[in-house]
Structure 1
Amino acid sequence: MKIVVIGGTGLIGSKVVAALGEQGHEAVAAAPSTGVNTLTGEGLAEVLRGASVVVDVSNSPSFEDSAVLDFFRTSTGNVLRAEADAGVRHHVALSVVGTDRLQESGYFRAKKAQEDLIRESGAPYSLVHATQFFEFAKGLADGVTEGDTVRLPDAMIQPLVSDDVAAAVVRAAVAAPVDGVVEVGGPEAFRLEEFIRTALDAARDPRKVVTDPEARYWGAELREDTLLPGPDATLGKVRFADWLARQR
């Protein structure tokens, strides 16, 4: 089966392409570096010729509110139109647990706009909602650092390793469309402060990590469970401490 992976050269996309190839599928990475530009439509018709499934794990190069909204609206619209022309039978997109609960954030408003386009397109689809990745702990800390202090909301998070995210996307790609959402999260929940402090300590990063009731998460106010997956989520098996030990 030919499966085109939009964003197939990135962290998750490259893992998805490799795993699909190991299963015997014709997995094709689509990205600007491979001649496919979803913002302009360049190369889309050619790469989708003969494809049964499209997997979209791409992300905006800018998280500024208007730029990220334009990226997801334009890119997703172009891909969906090209898929319809090519007769693609299943659209799989990677999104984020809690997207609909984080609409104060420009980034998550853009992700919801992407999801809405997919739902309204009439194409068979599956949305994979994942929690935060272990690999992005430092980036999350960088986004809320003031001076030498990382200020975090008082909330829980259930992160997972990127390998488990890719595995969830692969499962969705080779299965029948669910025309809805499947969730994936990590095996353990942490307070945000604990998760970030543990990651920074492991990297010998001296920043101070504190819980601040006024702090926001990508511009959004959090409740205790905003970032947690639901009871039906598939949980990964790799524990954060074990992953950190492997990094060392």
Structure 2
Amino acid sequence: MDKYFESKRILVTGGCSGIGRGVVLELWRLGANVVALSHQAKNLEKLRSEYPSIEIACVDVRDWDKTRGVVDSLGVFHGLVNCAGVGLMEPFLECKPTTFDESITINTKAILNITQVVAKKMINNNIKGSIVNISSQASKAGLKDHVAYCASKGAVDAMTRVMAIELGPYGIRANTVNPTVVLTDLGREVWADPNKAQEMKSKIPLGRFCEVQEVVDVIIFLLSDKASMINGVQMPIDGGFLAT
């Protein structure tokens, strides 16, 4: 797998924190030329100061035209990880249109926008690339207070299946990973209440939450030629949550 990434250029959105940062650093370790895209300017600069060979791009993915221009200016990629996302929690009966719109704009619409640009360049350069979209177990199961988030991630799964069908003939694969709760810094904060955490863990047969590296490893596999016949799947990383 090390040799596979040595000559590859890969874009990771949400690349300076959480799962995205984990993916960026693992790809860097495996020899890829990585570009980390985010709206968090300070975190991007910190990443570049620690790893000068990692490229950075700063843009708010809610801005369709600006994002499109920035991604286009970055050139050609062999792989794309759409990791930028937001989790806005409100009960179904209280969910505001702004909450729903923000969730769809960042979690779903931005993937459409960025992937269109990257995939067109893959096609024009005859690159048989790989696209990995970060979804969630929330796309497959209803979760209390997650109506906007569940809807946005369900749309990611559906969109990815269409990507697989339409991009597959060009040799471009598209898949999602669908983790349970992941212990990023934010994840640890959100699930710090032991009672709240235990309620969720009780639904996971392995009895624990997911570590960042456990998600990163699956993303790296899907990006690589080790997964050359995997296309259009949703890969749970949930300790069996969806099996119950």
Give your verdict on TM over 0.5. Answer: yes
Which among 24, 36, 47 is matched to residue 31 of structure 2? 24
Unaligned runs of 5+ in 1: 187-226, 232-248
Query: CA shift at 1:132, angstroms?
Result: 1.0
Q: Which residue of 2 aligns with 1:38?
A: 61
Cα–Cα, structure 1 residues 97 and 151, in superposed 2: closer, same or farther, change >3 Å? closer
Q: Identify if the C-alpha distance between structure 1 residues 160 and 62 changes in structure 2 by more than 3 Å, giving closer, same or farther.
A: closer
The one-letter amino acid of 1:140's match is: W
Moved more, 154-163 or 93-102: 154-163
Residue by residue, what CA displacement relative to the aligned partner does 1:61-91 show, whole Å, maximum 9, x if unpaired?
Answer: 7553332123223211211221232126221
* TM-score normalized with structure 2 length: 0.65
SS at match of 2:213: helix
Q: Distance in 2 between matches of 1:134 and 1:174?
A: 24
Q: CA deviation at 1:184?
A: 2.0
Cα distance, 1:174–1:37 mapped onto 2, change above 3 Å: farther
From the CA coordinates, give the structure whose radius of gyration is larger.
Answer: 1
Secondary structure at 1:59's aligned position in 2?
coil
- TM-aligned CA distance change 1:8 to 1:45, over 3 Å: same
1:216 maps to which residue? none
Question: Bigger shift: 152-161 or 162-171?
Answer: 152-161
Identity %: 16
Q: Does residue 1:69 correspond to 2:95, yes or no?
A: no
The number of residues matched between the two structures is 185
Comparing 33-42 with 53-62, which one deviates more in the overlay?
33-42
Partner of 1:234: none
Equivalent in the alignment of 2:136: 96
CA distance in 2 between counterparts of 1:151 and 1:106 reads 23
- SS of the aligned residue for 2:105 comes to helix
Which structure: greater helix fraction?
Answer: 2
- Cα 1:60–1:28 change in 2 (3 A) is same
2:78 to 34, 52, 66: 52
Output aligned runs, 1:189-208, within 5 Å.
Answer: none
Is 2:128 the partner of 1:105? no
SS, match of residue 133 in structure 2: strand
| Of 62-71 and 92-101, the range deviating more from structure 2 | 62-71
Q: Residue 180 of structure 1 aligns with which residue?
A: 233
Correspondences of 1:163-178 after superposition (within 5 Å): 163-175=213-225, 176=228, 177-178=230-231
Q: Which residue of 2 aligns with 1:139?
A: 190
**Cα deviation, residue 154, structure 1:** 9.5
Q: How far apart, in 2, do the equivalents of 1:13 and 1:151 lie? A: 26
**1:2 is matched with which residue?**
9
Give me the whole-angstrom Cα distance separating, in 1, the residues matched to 2:201 and 2:178.
22
> Counterpart in 2 of 1:13?
20
Stretches of structure 2 lacking an aligned partner (at least 5 in a row):
1-7, 42-56, 90-98, 124-128, 168-172
Report the aligned-residue RMSD: 2.9
The structure carrying a bigger strand percent of its residues is 1
- Residue-by-residue CA offset, 1:22-47 (whole Å, 9 max, x unaligned): 11111211123323443322401122
Q: What is aligned with 1:160?
A: 210
